[in-house]
Amino acid sequence: MDGVELQILWSNLIGIVSEQARALQRIAFSPIVREAGDLANGLFDEQARMVAQAVTGTPGHINSLAAAARNLLDSYDVDTLKPGDVLITNDPWMSAGHFFDITVLSPIFRGKRIIGYAGSTIHHADIGGYGIGSGARDIHEEGLWIPTMKLYDAGKPNETLFQIIRRNVRTPDALMGDLGAQVSSGIIASDRLNALCDRYGLDDIAALSDEIIARSETATREAIRKLPGGTYHGESQFDVPGGQVITLKTAVTIDADKGEIEVDFEGSSGPSNMGINVVPAYTHAYATFAVRSSLNPDLPNNAGSLAPIRLKLPDQCVVNAKYPSPVNARHVVGMYVPFPILKALAQVIPDRVVAEGSGAVWTIQIQGKDRDGKPFTSSMFNYSGGMGARAAKPGISAVCYPTGVSAVPVEVLEAAYPIAFTCKELEHGTGGTGKQPGGDGQRIGYRMRTGQPWLLNTIPSRLKAGPEGLLGGGDGAAGVFRINGEDVTDTRKREMQPDDEVFMITPGGGGYGAA
Amino acid sequence: MTRYSLAIDIGGTFTDAVLLASDGRTFVDKTLTTHNNLLEGFFRGVDLVTGRAGIAAADVDDVVVHATTVVTNALIERKGPPVAIILTEGFRDILYIREEHRYDMYDPQIEFAEPLIPADRTFTLKERIFADGTVGTPVDRDAVLGIIAECRAKGIVSVAICLLNSYRNGANEEAVRAIFEEEAPEIYVSLSSVIAPQMREYLRASTVAINAYTVPITRPYLTALIAELKERGFRQQPLIMLSNGGVIGAERASTMPVRMIESGPAAGALVACYFSRIFGIPDLISFDMGGTTAKACMVQGHEPLVTGTFEVDRRYRFKPGSGMPITVPSIDMIEIGAGGGSIASVNDLGLLKIGPESAGSMPGPVCYGRGGTDPCVTDADLVLGILNADRFLGGDMQLNLSGAEAAYDALGETLGLSREKAAWGVFEVVCEQMAAATRTHATERGIDYRGQPMLAFGGAGPVHACMVAELTESPKVIYPPLASVLSAFGTLVTPAQIDLVRSHVATLDTLDWCGVDTVLNAMIAEGATALGEAGIREEDFTYAFSAEMRYVGQQSEVRVHLENDPRKTRDARAIKDLFEAEYHRQYGLKLDGMNIEIVNWLVTASGRQPERDTGTVPTEGTRGTESRPVHIRGEAREVPVWQRHAITEGDRITGPVIIEERETTIFVLENWVVTRHDSGSLVAEKTGEN
């Protein structure tokens, strides 16, 4: 296949997943999918290798989805799959690391043969159990566990499963609507892939997929081969809800001959009794994100470009969660995974890395009754702190990094739930100083417009110490979390009084280089 | 008695002029755009066409319509006078925080457009409206007086006001404006609740900031235009083309410049609608390709698709998200960074990439001979033999073929392909990029693009359209007359029209019809005033109603056209049926038992469709059987070359064929047949399988 033919087919595949993702986002119900974009869409070949991903979404979902497709198909005899089948799971170890993320995978038939799969993972508004937060003591308190099964069998809905889901979540309509959007986006992808094959006279996409994956892998290996070989170390520390300090240590080994990188987490913190443990697929997602975005961000993300990056996880480790550890708020640790890796890479490619930033977005969920007594459960909403500085550019203030989500607008939240914000502004001076300063965090305050007690689930982090500056840059400021003016460190789900006010300042990003 | 109407379209490179006489004669010309003083080029264009027609300014007794890039230029150049913004206390940084989103996940080096209004000109005010529209804290007069004093000290000439939840209730914004009008009438005031009354604070603030920023530029410009036209003896106040595909009086347009941003491109889309009516084809794809970009628009039911949001001034590698968002009604177009000047290169993966870098018009493609060295799309067209080096712009501009060939020798070497195969690759890839963008754009809007005819115009459009049509599965391509000044012509077949939108969120089962009446009546009154100013007679006013609706809990709305005036019918049940039908059409789903809500009401107030046409296109020139070798799919073929004006009704010309006219070249592939339509358009139709 020459460079021209391949380019045409390849942009077609990316077009298909992008169509799939946009349709999904348009018809989704929860603000977290539509406004925040907490989702992933991918197209897989018949061997379940990810060939293309949509340009929207978050690293945690996309790269986890890549693993999920393989896991789902390992647990099914693919020869028994029929047109109209749709597979589903929210198994944390099979897909994106907590129950909220439901992965749906549809086989794409061309005639009687499967030529690929369309997959999506989205963060659903609710999945029963504990809700957003890290307070559950084991995984079973965290909500409904959907093993790998068929959501549709030859186009017929699995009514038993639908009924079980409906009864076990707080927002059944939103969940059903979002699940419907996932299924619908799979149908669109299937139609489009068949149309592509018709247009170009292809029986399947096997040769195309081989070529894409091979070229991506080669280009990634070439990019690695340009780096000086050796083992480089990086370490990041941060405090999580409840005050515990987590250490992530990485030894990044660049094999410049083979063009491979291995990231070893030996020496990192052990498992936590809080719901912040990270399953390997999610660790892998953010580790590969850190490497790939530093190597060459223009290289596509697929099975080929991910292959040369391997992970080594200690058996007892916060980033190698084991059943029955709670995992609900795994992003609190998972979104810090890139930083020790970037610090190690800073010794090799200092011009391409990013200094430590605020890391995990702070997530919030509110539950209660409005003034008319109507109960509500919000979907998760999140706020960012400052991004770390780049070698030649300052860190961006109040922007989600490393995750790819957005914040839900104040007006959307106020219209959807009885919440009223008192402020949302940058907190100047929270970014670390340096040749390039870190991005600033933000101050956010809110209260409820209700006459009744309400429930607050929130997950701040870095309340004790801010992100470390890089190569002589100053540290970013730590975050602040207060209720009625008093600092709060224990952030399990808490009952709030009608007039209580929440105030928080998200951390600033680290600076880069001495000022 | 012959009546004359005039259209001037100021684009990035050329200012186009079209003069239509009611007896069917058409006079067109192009002159270079004069960026330092746009009116200079405007009147040069006017003189050219009136001179050709041998008439005086006073003879132009019908409309004078104007499309312009003045607003877009102001935003890109950012040389405007100081402008301030007033926000709710506690929410000072809305323009800086944006949506907290990195638009490119993997690129750590991304940048955002710097906000139009800097921090030292951002003021906050203690006030609050809640999401249900109730006033929590009213506006304090003294606080506003303090801001006015500071504005004066800083030499502020225009101010944007965007207060939280004002989309629901604009009372506090109105209160601030009243104080400004009393105390500082010299400062222009733009209210977000008037300019863009929609939910989502960043979008609304960005929009009103852009409006406030451009008012001090467009007002004097349009005022000078009105004065000079009058002085020269033109009888009518000029009309201005808006992004929504309507025209409106210049004076009103000057208060809402944010609605003029897509002025020129919108005119192009309107032309597509005009031809869709002439051909009796309700749905088609409008495809306009120029020097740096291509634009596609879906025409559905003879109307262009419209959108509520778009983006200007993308600052980082032309990436979506790196510019400033705007939420006002606009023709929904996709802009693709691929034009005749786009540069071809080979990336790290060994793949052929085109754009987004462009050689523009300076230095331009290699073949322009102005110092360009990078192989461009136009160079590929020349190397392939689609363009003729001696006949570009009717031979006025000699192209450098050997230079283009050398550039493609080099590109071919990198790809391991011959010169011609590399050039064909560029032709194919650029067409595929445009087709892919069109497909995504269409599906995103729930439209099955397959089988829809395409209308091709712009300098490079007719060269590539047939190939793009192959890829979007379009069976027919229409090549209209006046292709090179078609947007200017478009403004003359555009009705006066203003689109109004108001948020008024309510579920269908609890709809408060009195409240709905209030909202709709206010919009109708605003529309009537605007139409009156555009010189439309009251008996020609029409109002179309639609609602943006969703299932409760969704965040994205589906637009539902209401056939009847909802104030009269008050039929929630009928509205529900319309919504469900539209939702099913777009997404193949219907969700039973879910509550449905209306988020926005929309009113389109318009005048009558003007009855003008392109005029007669004479048949002239030699009917030739000239030919030249063209490299198609890596194979050299002797392809017949026709002169466009020599083709008459009844001719059936089988592709591959090249059809030349002064400003552009039509390239039709094998298995397509060209005929001439009585409108003067040429039509290529697909005959069979490849």
Select from B93, B108, B112 the Cβ nearest to the Cβ of A354. Answer: B108
Q: Which residues of chain B lie closer than 8 angstroms to A415, CB-CB?
A: 131, 199, 505
| A23/B348 CB distance under 8 A | no
Query: What are the chain B neighbours of A424 within 8 Å (beta carbons)?
Result: 90-91, 93, 97
A400/B101 CB distance under 8 A = yes
Examine the pLDDT at B423 and tell me if it is beyond 90. Answer: yes
**A390 contact B CB<8A:** yes
Are residues B100 and A216, on separate chains, in Cβ contact within 8 Å?
A: no
3-class SS letters over A239-288: ECCCCCEEEEEEEEEEECCCCEEEEECCCCCCCCCCCCCCCHHHHHHHHH
- Last residue in a domain, options A215, A239, A254: A215
Contacts with A390 (C-beta within 8 Å, 6 or more apart), sequence order: A353, A354, A355, A436, A512, B108, B109
**CA pair distance A375, B644, nearest whole angstrom:** 70
> Looking at beta carbons, which residues of chain A come within 8 Å of B429?
4, 7-8
Contacts 24+ apart (CB under 8 A), A367-370: A367/A131, A367/A170, A367/A454, A367/A455, A367/A457, A368/A418, A368/A448, A368/A450, A368/A452, A368/A453, A368/A454, A368/A455, A369/A450, A369/A452, A369/A454, A370/A417, A370/A418, A370/A449, A370/A450
What mean pLDDT is predicted for residues A227-234? Answer: 97
Across the interface, do B443 and A223 touch by the CB < 8 Å criterion?
A: no
Look at residue B618 and tell me whether its pLDDT is greater than 70.
no
The span from the CA of A268 to the CA of A106, in Å, is: 37
Stretch among A460-464, B181-185, B545-549, B620-624 having the lowest mean pLDDT? B620-624
In this structure, the dihedral spanned by the alpha carbons of residues B97, B100, B103 and B106, taken in order and rounded to 10 degrees, is: 120
Which of A7, A294, A417 to mutate to probe the B interface, most B CBs <10 Å?
A7
CA–CA separation, B458 vs B475, rounded Å? 20
Could B589 and A184 be called an inter-chain contact, meaning their C-beta atoms sit closer than 8 Å? yes
**What is the least distance, in Å, from the CA of B87 to any CA of chain A?**
11
Provide the pLDDT for residue A304: 94
User: How far away is chain B from the Cα of A137, in angstroms, using its nearest Cα?
Assistant: 31
| pLDDT tens, residue by residue, A117-167 | 999 999 998 999 998 889 999 999 999 999 999 999 999 999 999 999 999
Contact list in A for residue B201 (CB cut-off 8 A) is 409-411
- A345 CB within 8 Å of a chain B CB: no
Angle at alpha carbon of residue A209, lines to A205 and A211, rounded to 5° = 125
The pLDDT of residue B690 is above 60: no
When pLDDT is averaged across residues B545-556 and rounded to a whole number, the result is 81
Residue B513 forms contact with A (CB below 8 Å)? no
Which one of A1, A14, A16, A26 makes the best mutation probe of the B interface by having the most chain B beta carbons within 10 Å? A26
The 10s digit of each residue's pLDDT in A304-315 is 999 999 999 999
Q: Is residue A505 part of a domain?
A: yes
- Compute how many other C-beta atoms are within 10 angstroms of the C-beta atom of residue B130: 18
Neighbour count for residue B662 (Cβ, 10 Å): 16
Q: Does residue B592 sit at the A interface (CB-CB below 8 Å)?
A: no
- Contact at CB, A301 and B106, closer than 8 angstroms: yes
Question: Mean pLDDT in chain B?
Answer: 88
Is pLDDT at A4 greater than 70 in this prediction? no
* Within a domain: A335: no
- Which residue on chain B is closest to A16 by alpha carbon? B440
Lowest average pLDDT, out of A265-274, A356-365, B579-588, goes to: B579-588
Give the A:B interface size as CB pairs under 8 Å.
213
- B120: buried, middle or exposed (CB in 10 Å: 19+, 13-18, 0-12)? exposed
Q: How far is CA B186 from the centre of its chain?
A: 32
CB contact under 8 A, B200 and A411: yes
Report the residue from B131, B349, B353 with minimal CB separation from A219.
Answer: B349
Query: Which pLDDT does position A386 carry in this prediction?
Result: 98
The residue with greater pLDDT, A383 or B611, is A383
Q: CATH number for the domain including A178?
A: 3.30.450
DSSP state of A13: H
Distance from CA of A328 to the nearest CA of B (A): 23
The residues in A 88-127 lying below 8 A from B, measured between CB atoms, are none
pLDDT of B563? 85
Q: What is the pLDDT of residues B92-111, one digit of tens each?
A: 999 999 999 999 989 999 99
| Rounded alpha-carbon distances, angstroms, from residue A395 to A407, A470, B103, B149 | 18, 12, 15, 35
Residue A177: predicted pLDDT: 87
Residue among B96, B102, B201 whose CB faces A411 most closely = B201
Q: How far is B671 from chain A (nearest CA, A)?
A: 16
SS3 state of residue B270: helix
Quick one: pLDDT at residue B620? 62
Q: Indicate whether A100 pLDDT > 70.
A: yes
Which pLDDT does position A461 carry in this prediction?
A: 94
Among A480-484, A490-494, B280-284, B365-369, the least confident range: A490-494
> How many structural domains are present in chain A?
2
CA angle B381, A198, A39 (to 5 degrees): 95
pLDDT tens-digit readout, B554-601: 666 788 999 889 999 899 999 999 999 988 777 666 777 778 999 889
Q: Which of B99, B165, B424 sits opposite A406 (nearest CB)?
A: B99
Contact B627, B641 (CB under 8 A): yes
Inform me whether the pLDDT recorded for B689 exceeds 60: no
pLDDT of residue A496: 96
What are the chain A neighbours of B424 within 8 Å (beta carbons)? 4
Model confidence, pTM:
0.85
Measured between CA atoms, the residue of chain A closest to residue B442 is A19
- Whether chain A has a CB inside 8 Å of the CB on B688: the answer is no
User: Of A166, A195, A215, which residue is a domain's last?
Assistant: A215
- CB nearest to A59's CB, from B91, B97, B105: B105
- The answer to whether residue B690 neighbours chain A at the CB level (below 8 Å) is no
A397 at interface of B, judged by CB pairs closer than 8 A:
yes
Q: Is A513 contained in some domain?
A: yes
Question: What pLDDT is attached to residue A305?
Answer: 93
Q: A-chain residues within 8 Å CB-CB of B101?
A: 37, 399-400, 404-407
Distance from CA of A41 to the nearest CA of B (A): 14
Among A268-282, B115-129, B538-552, name the one with the lowest average pLDDT.
B538-552
In this prediction, what percent of chain A has a pLDDT beyond 90? 78
Of A4, A19, A415, the CB nearest to B440: A19
Is the pLDDT score of A261 beyond 90? yes
Q: Which domain holds residue A463?
A: 354-515
Contacts A401 to B, Cβ<8 Å = 102
Smallest Cβ distance to B594: which of A11, A173, A215? A173
> What's the pLDDT score for residue A38?
84
Min Cα–Cα distance to chain A from B615, Å = 40
- Chain B partners of A172 at a C-beta cutoff of 8 Å? none
Overall average pLDDT of the B321-343 stretch = 86
B569 CA: distance to closest CA in chain A (Å) = 28
Strand, helix or coil for residue B130 = coil
Q: What is the pLDDT of residues B193-236, one digit of tens each?
A: 988 888 899 999 999 999 999 999 899 999 999 999 999 988 88
pLDDT in tens, B153-205: 999 999 999 999 998 899 999 999 999 999 999 999 999 998 888 889 999 99
A338 within some domain: no
Confirm or reject contact between B414 and chain A (CB < 8 A). Answer: no
Q: Is residue A122 part of a domain?
A: yes
Chain A positions in Cβ-Cβ contact with residue B203 (cut-off 8 Å): 409
Comparing alpha-carbon positions, the chain B residue that sits nearest to A386 is: B100
Q: Which residues of chain A lie closer than 8 angstroms to B425, CB-CB?
A: 2-4
Judge whether B625 is closer than 8 Å to chain A, CB to CB.
Answer: no
Residues 6+ apart with CB under 8 A from A508: A358, A385, A386, A427, A429, A430, A431, A432, A438, A439, A440, A441, A466, A467, A476, A477
Domain end point (choices A200, A215, A230): A215
Q: Do A27 and B589 touch (CB under 8 A)?
A: yes
Asked whether residue A98 is assigned to any structural domain, the reply reads yes
pLDDT of residue B357: 77
* Nearest one of A405, A364, A379 to A506, comparing CA atoms: A364
C-beta of residue A444 within 8 angstroms of C-beta of residue A346: no
Residue A280 has pLDDT above 60, yes or no: yes
Domain architecture of chain B: domains with CATH: 1-57 (3.30.420.40), 81-212 (3.40.1360), 497-606 (no CATH)
CB contact under 8 A, B415 and A58: no
d(CA A392, CA A450): 48
Decide if A185 touches B, using CB distance below 8 A: no
In-domain check, residue A87: yes
* Residue from B166, B555, B580, B600 whose CB has the most chain A CBs within 10 Å, to mutate: B555
The per-residue pLDDT for range B373-416, each reduced to its tens digit, is 999 999 999 999 999 988 877 777 889 999 999 999 999 999 89
A434 within domain boundaries? yes
**Of residues B199, B429, B589, nearest to A7 (C-beta):** B429
Model pLDDT, residue A257:
96
Which of A355, A380, A220 minimizes the C-alpha distance to A300?
A220
